[in-house]
Amino acid sequence: MLAEIQEKKVQSQAAFHHLPLTEVFNELSATDKGLTEQEAKKRLNQYGENELNASKKKSLLVKFAEQFKDLMIIILIIAAILSVITSGGHDLSDAIIIMAVVIINAIFGVYQEGKAEAAIEALKDMSSPMARVKRDGHIVEVDSKELVPGDIVLLEAGDVVPADMRLLESASLKIEEAALTGESVPVEKDARHSVSADSGIGDRLNMAYQNANVTYGRGSGLVTNTAMFTEVGKIASMIESADETETPLKRNLNKLSKVLTWAILAIAAVTFAVHLLRGGEIVQGLMTSVALAVAAIPEGLPAIVTIVLALGTQVLAKKNAIVRKLPAVETLGSTEIIASDKTGTLTMNQMTVEKIFTDGKLVSADEKLSVDDMTLRVMNFANDTKISADGSLIGDPTETALVKFGRTKDFDIRSELTETPRVAELPFDSDRKLMSTIHQLDDGKYLVAVKGAPDQLLKRANKKLVRDEVSSLSATDRKEILTVNHEMAHEALRVLMMAFKYIDKVPETLTSEDLENDLIFAGLVGMIDPERAEAAEAVRVAKAAGIRPIMITGDHQDTAEAIAKRLGIISENDNEDHVLTGAELNDMDDKTFQKSVSQYSVYARVSPEHKVRIVKAWQNEGKVVAMTGDGVNDAPALKTADIGIGMGITGTEVSKGASDMVLADDNFATIIVAVEEGRKVFANIQKTIQYLLSANTAEVLTIFLATMFGWDVLLPVHLLWINLVTDTFPAIALGVEPNEPGSMQQKPRGKKASFFSGGVLSATIYQGLLQAALTLGVYGLALAFPEHAGNHTMMHQDALTMAFATLGLIQLFHAFNVKSIHQSIFKVGAFKSKTFNWSILVSFALLACVILIPGLNGIFHVSHLDLYQWGMVLGMSFAVIIIVEIVKFVQRLMMKKA
């Protein structure tokens, strides 16, 4: 992928955030006047355009052809050929149906093929189209694709950062980097900030990264890397190189295909050999073996699995989970680890006032507060939030949270500013960490409202306001304020202090030294991006279901830990270290981390590489991992995980493109709903496979044993019709059965489990034997008591017809047994599902019509049966329910004793 760039001069990978500015300029051979146009063109030829590389795309034909490599698809094609052979080329309907399924599956596979390509294209589309650059000492506007290392770029609010750059200037500069770091609020940048070499992206305050958004202030930066060498470029490389994780469903179907292939070949070969040893004709033996192979292959299985999965996606779509890849529905059911991003998924992604210290008391944000409270007034006055015509708030998330809080206390900032207009201001800057506004009062005086960092603002206050009285701020008062500040910070609240004073006139020259002193302390405000109301319950349900929630975030350690405890991811009273930072993870090699991965439930200040390491470490433990994310930085891990879950509201197109499923409501609780649906889907596929394979086993054993006895029990046309009738409607109906109670109180089945786990294999074998025995029993009885047949030929045809009817009906009755592996059909509800009831009735009608309708019975080589014969057929067919119910009862007793 990087071959073209690697042929040219490789861009520097120096730790630009750590180097002194002089060394950065030297490393890039740059000056503060910017590059010359000549030098810029030279470097553009050298490094290439500043855009992400697209991977080499496969042709549509190649993608289509690759879909036929799957073993089950090969078996289906063979089944189509065999069905044509057995019909002598006269009946092509079965072959057409099978090939239609194969082609539809291939088309769907091609549709799903280009996830990585779509993700890369989405990254490219995010790039800023134009950039203001200093060239030859002048400011010019150029296409961002023409940027090169050494360029000086100017930034201001509303810009998209066009390349990675070391900041040269920063005037109240705030950049929203959530897509890269996951941090919920814009980062205050500082060009003069010193950063250690091993610091993570979120802590590099002197850097700006490609595709981040400038939300406030202005600045300039020296371009350090472009194209695939940017942080976003590295993520694009990781997306493309990430291995596509094989889903549990695909693994199970592949295993099933291999087992069936060898079993079918072995049984067909033995049947053919026995036929020849008994002196039979080669052609007849070959046809019998082919018929047996047709009976053994569950040709409808892939189609039914696809239908069940597709119906599952429709159910999930109604519950705000949009599935982009069908097998993801089933993968959800086996999930053991959910590695979730914090911001927007577990939390609201909205800064919210939670506590307020005012009038000498610390109270919850829910408690009543007077509109005249000075803390409330200051937080709204010293605020740059804009209110649109429709009443929505526009501005910094922290400031909009303060205005929103004011609204809950009936404080209307628009009407207040009409009565107490702002006449001057001292904007926020990152040096003094304060913001002040001046408002004219009715009595001719002016109110100075100051908001800022507690450690800075407390130094400038010498009085306090408590119960409408202003008094001196004592050492004890200061200690109390700092204690409250510390307590709120320990709870991961972002704390701001409010202060004020009155002045007689507005200074001609506004300076911090003149305005922001002799202040009166009003109060403290504690804010946080709160957890979603339903998230804690979802975490509890996940744990009860044996699923371990893991929080992975770019936020600070304290914030992450506090939210994790509030959600129940970490126990409130647990004193063990369950939090690991990105810096600590950097110090661990893979072997050390692998040993301790199960210790940690929270990862803070992590990078994209860390997220992939975390996912892979859990996968190496044999766990099925679901990963959620919304940012560009999440995309590689989303693709690496067993199931990647993107965010529909806040998610970037990159993260959605790399995901298997997208949450329309960005809600962690929706994942748990999806997991339950996934478990239901797997259980229903398991029921379908048990039903189909036990039925196919019965057909194979019937033919095999009949061959051993020298009987001609069933013709190929009978097997094809039974397969068509009984393998379609009842199997699909079983695939949409309601969820069995208690599915979310069971542990996940995990990667090692298969469709035959939980007693399905033994049930499939004995139930297949039982059906075959009952079918052969009917055939044997018909031959032993021929009084209802007119002659030898009629006797044989009646026996064949009764065996045909019994094998078909017994499978329809057996469908009731499969509604639950261990529970009685009377407990799960034999007639609970209308879809199932109709499927049985339709299948019964199709099966009966070929016997009852004149003309059809001649085509199918069957005869009319009298009431006695029908009674024998129905009685032996229904016996399968009675016998299986007895076996289930014994199994339940044994499980209780165990």
Active site members: 341
Tell me the pairing of strands 548-552 and 207-208: unpaired
- Are residues 164 and 230 in contact, defined by beta-carbon separation less than 8 angstroms? yes
- Residues 68 and 76: their CA atoms lie apart, in Å, by 10
Amino acid letter, 858 = G
- What are the helix (H) ranges across 448-527? 454-457, 475-490, 512-515
Token representation of residue 508? 């001609």
- Residues 866 and 594: their CA atoms lie apart, in Å, by 71
- Are residues 541 and 672 in contact, defined by beta-carbon separation less than 8 angstroms? yes
Token representation of residue 530? 């709160």
Q: 160: which DSSP letter? A: B
- Residues 207 and 186: their CA atoms lie apart, in Å, by 13
| Cβ burial, residue 1 (10 Å; 0-12/13-18/19+) | middle
- Are residues 165 and 153 in contact, defined by beta-carbon separation less than 8 angstroms? yes
Residue the block writes with tokens 């059906």: 771
Q: 603: which DSSP letter? A: E
Q: Measure the CA angle with vertex 764, ends 759 and 767; round to 5°.
A: 115
- What are the helix (H) ranges across 522-600? 535-544, 557-567, 582-586, 590-596
3-state secondary structure of 130: strand
Q: Could you tell me the maximum CA-CA distance found in the chain, to the nearest angstrom?
A: 124
Amino acid letter, 355 = K
Token representation of residue 519? 């202040």
- Residues 85 and 82: their CA atoms lie apart, in Å, by 5
- Number of alpha carbons in the 13 Å side-chain half-sphere of residue 160: 14
Residue from 379, 422, 429, 375 nearest 401 by CA: 379
- Are residues 417 and 405 in contact, defined by beta-carbon separation less than 8 angstroms? no
- Residues 162 and 166: their CA atoms lie apart, in Å, by 12
- Region for residue 174 given its phi and psi (left: phi exceeds 0; alpha: psi -120 to 50; beta: otherwise): beta
Length of the chain: 898
3-state secondary structure of 723: helix
Q: Beta partners for 362?
A: 357
Token representation of residue 757? 């786990």
Tell me the pairing of strands 461-466 and 422-429: unpaired
Residue from 804, 684, 699, 700 nearest 736 by CA: 684
- Are residues 314 and 602 in contact, defined by beta-carbon separation less than 8 angstroms? no
- Residues 608 and 586: their CA atoms lie apart, in Å, by 12
Residue the block writes with tokens 């991977």: 55
Tell me the pairing of strands 469-472 and 494-503: unpaired
Residue from 652, 623, 455 nearest 550 by CA: 623
Q: How far is CA 29 from CA 5, 25, 162, in A?
A: 20, 6, 20
Residues 6+ apart with CB under 8 A from 26: none
- Region for residue 468 given its phi and psi (left: phi exceeds 0; alpha: psi -120 to 50; beta: otherwise): left
Tell me the pairing of strands 461-466 and 213-225: unpaired
Residue from 364, 662, 369, 388 nearest 528 by CA: 364
